[in-house]
């Protein structure tokens, strides 16, 4: 399956993987800022944006596809669902990933007795159940949840809404949602030996700060950056501060 990818700039390669329901364009401002020093690749994950849908959304399969598309070692930035794919990429294809930057993501997106750092299963299932009858409204409510508690949430949400269908109407959101319900990548953490920057909002209701702190302890080489006033999208709500830390991470490991 082919992936829709936009590339900008020149220099060391940086691949950016977006979250559920959106597409690579959500990183346009980040890419524009980095393009003077890096070659930035914005990927639309399967079933999102300009990439075709698939009957299944398997993180290992997608990671292998990305490893084939980028055969030379790259730095990978993954947000939320994209961060889950990035964890699989770094664990399964370690020679191809120089560093990871994981933004508001988790090895597991569903809460249970062994994992308190997530939402209840019913909250995610509810998003899927309402997609057929109220597609746009469901996505907008999901985006609003990502901004809860963040300063300037209304402006950030407006920017996300403007981006939502910029690459077309996504065709494969349910398989990706099923992936989030089933995922448990905790066993991959010891296999991720590259340097990892962790970028988490302390007010995040989708991937709580506890998930970031767990990753910081479980990964062999990780640095945690906490954004005290941010929610699920610190790269949008706290762009300047986020870029400062991300640029340092990328330059340090390029």
Residues forming the active site: 80, 204, 232
Distance CA 217, CA 92 (A): 20
Q: Are 45 and 51 in contact (CB under 8 A)?
A: yes
**How far apart, in Å, are the Cα atoms of 125 and each of 75, 111, 118, 167, 174?**
33, 13, 14, 25, 10
CA atoms within 13 A on the CB side of 216: 15
Distance CA 138, CA 14 (A): 31
Strand order in the sheet with 13-17: 5-8, 39-43, 13-17, 74-79, 97-103, 196-201, 222-227
Q: Which residues lie closer than 8 Å to 78 by C-beta, 6 or more apart?
A: 16, 17, 84, 85, 86, 87, 100, 101, 102, 103, 105
76 class by beta-carbon count within 10 Å (0-12 exposed, 13-18 middle, 19+ buried): buried
Q: Are 5 and 41 in contact (CB under 8 A)?
A: yes
Distance CA 176, CA 229 (A): 28
- Pairing relationship of beta strands 196-201 and 222-227 according to DSSP bridges: parallel
């Amino acid at each position: 399956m082919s992936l829709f990818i936009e590339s900008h700039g020149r220099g060391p390669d940086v691949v950016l993987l977006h979250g559920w329901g959106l597409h690579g364009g959500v990183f346009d401002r980040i890419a524009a800022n980095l393009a003077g020093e890096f070659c930035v690749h914005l990927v639309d994950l399967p079933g999102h944006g300009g990439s075709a849908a698939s009957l299944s959304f398997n993180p290992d399969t997608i990671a292998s596809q990305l490893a084939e598309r980028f055969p030379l070692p790259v730095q990978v930035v993954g947000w939320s669902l994209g961060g889950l794919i990035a964890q699989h990429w770094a664990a399964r294809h370690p020679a191809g990933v120089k560093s990871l930057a994981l933004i508001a993501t988790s090895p597991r997106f569903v809460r249970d007795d062994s994992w308190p750092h997530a939402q209840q299963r019913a909250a995610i299932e509810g998003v899927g159940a309402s997609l057929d009858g109220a597609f746009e409204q469901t996505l907008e409510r999901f985006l609003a949840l990502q901004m809860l508690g963040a300063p300037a949430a209304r402006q950030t949400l407006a920017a996300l809404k403007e981006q939502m269908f910029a690459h077309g109407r996504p065709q494969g959101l349910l398989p990706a949602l099923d992936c989030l319900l089933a995922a448990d990548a905790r066993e991959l953490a010891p296999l991720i030996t590259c340097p990892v920057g962790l970028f988490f909002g302390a007010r995040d209701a989708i991937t709580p700060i506890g998930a970031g702190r767990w990753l910081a302890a479980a990964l062999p080489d990780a640095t945690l950056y906490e954004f005290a006033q941010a929610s699920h999208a610190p790269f949008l709500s706290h762009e300047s501060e986020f870029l400062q830390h991300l640029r340092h991470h990328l330059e340090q490991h390029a």
